[in-house]
Amino acid sequence: MGEMMDKVTVDHIRGFKGRERLPILTAYDYPMAKILDELEMPVMLVGDSLGMVVLGYPDTTEVTMADMLHHVRAVARAKPRGLIVADLPFGSYENVEAAVANSQRLREAGADAVKAEGGLEIAPQIKAILATGIPFMGHLGMLPQHIKEEGRYRVKGKIETERDLLLRDAALLDEIGAFAMVLELVKPELADSITKTVSCPTIGIGSGLSCDGQILVSHDLVGGFPWFTPRFVTPKLKVAALIKESIKEWQLEVRQTAETEGKA
Ligand code: KIV
C-alpha cells in the first residue's frame, strides 16, 4: 500500500468499495496508533470498547467524554495517516446540540471523524454533525451502548421486523452521507444484502465475510484481553499470556539474584 503517503480522506475510504477489502482495528493509545500507521491501516477506531478492554468497565455505557478525549489525544499524538474515527460515547449525542458540541470536542482532540450507534432515531444528530463538516461513520446491528435494554449481545436481523428496520436504517445512513458503516452482529445474509445496496463501504464485525471491510477490537485479535473473547474472533496471538510468561521469568531472575546475594 505504498500509495498511502498522505493523510487518508473520506473519499479515499469510499473508494475502497468494490475495489479492495478494508481491514480496520481499534487503537486506544500512542503505541498502537504507531503500529497501525506503520502497517498503513487506512482507518483506526478509538472505540468506546476501550471502556471494557482498557478501563475495566463492565460494558461501554460507563465510558465518558473525558475517557474518549484522553484516548483520542493519545492516538492523535502518533499523527497517523489513517483516519482517526472516534466513538461518541453513551449519552453524548442525545440531542442535536450535544451531538454537535461533543463531535467538535473529539475533533479538537484530534479525531478526523466520529461514529455513533443507531439509525433513524439519531438521524437529526447525524445530519447536524455532517453539516458542521465532521465526517460520520454509522454503526448498525447489535448496538453495545444499548446492552442494558438488550440484556445480551445477540445477532440482529433474524426476524423480519428487525431485518426491515436494518435495511431502512442502512439506506438512510447512506443517503444522509455516512462515509462508511459498521454492521455489528448482523445476520450474514442481511449484511450481504446491505453491502450490495448501499454506496458506502460496510464494515462488518461478527457479520460474515461479505462486508466491504472487517473491524475488530485490537485486544481481541492479539489476545490482549483473555478474560473475554467474542466467539467470532480467533486471536492471532496470546499477548496476555506472553506478558505473563516474561514477567514470571523476570520474577524468577530477581528472586534467584536475591538468593545468590544472600549466599555470598
Ligand atoms: O467500540 C468499538 O470498538 C466498536 C467496534 C467494535 C466496531 O464500536
Which pLDDT score, from 0 to 100, does residue 259 have?
Answer: 74
- Distance in Å, CA 96 to ligand 1 centroid: 22
Residue with CA nearest ligand 1 atom 3: 47
- Distance in Å, CA 10 to ligand 1 centroid: 19
| Mean of the per-residue pLDDT values of the chain | 96
**How far is CA 77 from each of CA 4, 9, 18, 37, 245, rounded to the nearest angstrom?**
19, 18, 32, 12, 31
Reported as a single tens digit per residue, the pLDDT across 91-144 is 999 999 999 999 999 999 999 999 999 999 999 999 999 999 999 999 999 999
Which pLDDT score, from 0 to 100, does residue 147 have?
Answer: 95
Q: 212 and 182 in contact (C-beta within 8 Å)?
A: no
Q: How confident is the model at residue 50 (pLDDT cuts 50, 70, 90)?
A: very high
**Which atom, in ligand 1's list, is nearest to the CA of 115?**
8
Query: Which residues does the annotation mark as catalytic?
Result: 184
- Distance in Å, CA 176 to ligand 1 centroid: 21
Residue percentage of the chain with pLDDT more than 90: 95
Alpha-carbon distance 246 to 226, whole Å? 16
pLDDT over 90 (residue 82): yes
Alpha-carbon distance 250 to 228, whole Å? 27
The amino acid sitting at 152 is: R
Q: How confident is the model at residue 4 (pLDDT cuts 50, 70, 90)?
A: low
Residue in this structure with the C-alpha cell 506472553, named with its chain if needed? 242
CB 63 near ligand 1, within 6 Å: no
Residue in this structure with the C-alpha cell 469510499, named with its chain if needed? 14
Q: How confident is the model at residue 263 (pLDDT cuts 50, 70, 90)?
A: low
Domain residue limits, the chain? 10-233, 238-264
Q: 143 and 59 in contact (C-beta within 8 Å)?
A: no
Q: 85 and 111 in contact (C-beta within 8 Å)?
A: yes
Reported as a single tens digit per residue, the pLDDT across 160-193 is 999 999 999 999 999 999 999 999 999 999 999 9
Alpha-carbon distance 145 to 3, whole Å? 36
Mutation test residue for ligand 1: of 24, 25, 26, 140, the one with most atoms within 8 Å of CB: 26
Which pLDDT score, from 0 to 100, does residue 260 have?
Answer: 74
CA atoms within 13 A on the CB side of 195: 25
CATH topology of domain 10-233: TIM Barrel (3.20.20)
Which pLDDT score, from 0 to 100, does residue 261 have?
Answer: 72
CB 49 near ligand 1, within 6 Å: yes
Q: At what angle do helices 123-131 and 96-109 cross, to 10 degrees?
A: 50
> How much is the pTM?
0.95
**How large is the C-alpha radius of gyration of the chain?**
20
Q: How confident is the model at residue 262 (pLDDT cuts 50, 70, 90)?
A: low
Residue with CA nearest ligand 1 atom 2: 47
